[in-house]
Amino acid sequence: MMNTKSLYQEVILDHNRKPRNYGVLDHPSHHAVGHNPLCGDRLDIALNLENGQINNIAFQGESCAICKASASMMTAAVKGKTRSDAETLIQEFREMAMGERDLNHPHHLGHLTVFSGIRDLPTRVKCAILPWHTLHAALNALSSVSTEADNDPVQNAASHPEALNRQANS
């Protein structure tokens, strides 16, 4: 397994220095803010969904390097993908980060598997997952998510479908 130092050196820092899709969108169709009160990470994700496809996506915020790199790689990975492909990736990434996914079985994570080592840093799993939670919230029109209440707010939201429908897009 890759050690933490090389995880930082080889992957995270590149995206931390040169984050992809960093910034704002003028008129996003979907938008959400993610918050990790433990570290003070805050992430804003905006996207344009047209005919079920993510045409454009951008993120902004203040966060640790793991969160920022995860957001950068995520936006690169889902840009141009359909909403349901994005949801599949969200699910797969979440399972991988929590150590619940066997990467020997078929998956769509590609480069994102560099984050598989994060499961060995339990206190940092939330940092890596936050962008994905926030994307999920944006796609489902939840205006903000927090990683405070639950290790797994995606699961949480999914088990309360009314929460998913509660708010119109902001």
Partner 1 sequence: MVSANATLAKVTPRINTILDTDKIRADFPILDIKVGNKPLVYLDNAASSQMPQQVIDRLVRYQTAQHANINRAVHYLSEVATLEYEHARRRVQQFVNAQEDREIIFTSGTTDSINLVMHGYGRKFIEAGDEIILTTLEHHSNIVPWQMLAKEKGAVIRVVPINDAGELDIDAYEKLFNERTKFVSLIHVSNALGTINPVKQMIAYAHQQNVPVLIDGAQATPHMTVDVQDLDCDFYVFSAHKLCGPTGIGMLYGKAALLEAMQPYKGGGDMIASVTFEETTYADIPHKFEAGTPPIAAAIGFGAAIDYLCSVGMDQIAAYELDLLNYATEQINEIKGASIIGTAAHKTAVISFTLDGIHPHDIGTLLNEDGVAIRTGHHCAQPVMQRFNVPATSRASFAFYNNKTEVDALITGIRMVQKVFL
Binding site for partner 1 (CB under 8 A): 3-5, 8-9, 13, 16, 38-40, 62-66, 121, 123-124, 127
Q: Which is nearer to partner 1, 54 or 66 (CB)?
A: 66
Q: Which is nearer to partner 1, 121 or 141 (CB)?
A: 121
Q: Which is nearer to partner 1, 8 or 53 (CB)?
A: 8
- Shortest separation between residue 151's beta carbon and partner 1, angstroms: 17
- Shortest separation between residue 6's beta carbon and partner 1, angstroms: 9
- Shortest separation between residue 90's beta carbon and partner 1, angstroms: 23
Residue with tokens 């690169």: 76
SS3 4: helix
* Tokens encoding 147: 């990683």
Q: For residue 84, give Cα distances in angstroms to 3, 53, 89.
A: 33, 9, 9
**Residues 2, 21: contact at Cβ < 8 Å?**
no
Q: Are strands 41-50 and 53-62 parallel, antiparallel or unpaired?
A: antiparallel
Residue 108, C-beta contacts closer than 8 angstroms, at least 6 positions apart: 85, 88, 89, 92
* Tokens encoding 65: 């390097």
SS3 145: strand
- Shortest separation between residue 163's beta carbon and partner 1, angstroms: 27
Q: What residues form DSSP beta bridges with 23? A: none
Q: Which is nearer to partner 1, 64 or 97 (CB)?
A: 64
Q: Which is nearer to partner 1, 62 or 150 (CB)?
A: 62
* Tokens encoding 150: 């639950």
- Shortest separation between residue 9's beta carbon and partner 1, angstroms: 6
